[in-house]
Amino acid sequence: MKRKIYLSIIVLSITALVLELVNIHLSGRIASDSVAVKIIQERIGKQAERNQIMQSKVLELTSFENVASRAGELGFKEADSYISLHKSIKVAFNR
């Protein structure tokens, strides 16, 4: 009977000790994971920032106002009529 009691106490103590060690190990893992997560979060944040900046640039460049202004700088002109000729056409003269 006494032996059984001693055995139970020993088993329970060992179990408690093991669980405590596991708890310490897991807490340490979580704490260090937090550091890794923080680094990843910072990287994600930077990429998201770059992404949004690029999107804004694309919108600016593809806006009608910008395209029209650049077209003017490149020498494009508005058509005065709705018919245009791409090649010169020979015209016969009456002498």
Spatial neighbors of 66 by CB under 8 A, at least 6 apart, are 60
In the complex, least distance from residue 15 CB atom to another protein, rounded to whole angstroms: 23
Residue 11 touching another protein (CB under 8 A) = no
13 or 49: CB nearest another protein:
49
**80 makes contact with another protein (CB under 8 A):** no
Over the range 18-36, which residues count as b (16 or more CB within 10 Å of their CB) and which as e?
eeeeeeeeeeeeeeeeeee
Cβ atoms of 66 and 60 within 8 Å: the answer is yes
Binding pattern to another protein, positions 29-58, x when CB under 8 A? -xx-xxx-xx----------x--xx-xx--
Q: Tokens 């395209």: give the residue.
A: 67
Comparing CB distances to another protein, the nearer of 74 and 79 is 79
Sign, CA torsion 27/29/32/34: negative
For residue 74, the minimal CB distance to another protein (Å) is 18
Residues that bind another protein (CB under 8 A): 30-31, 33-35, 37-38, 49, 52-53, 55-56, 59-60, 62-65, 68, 82
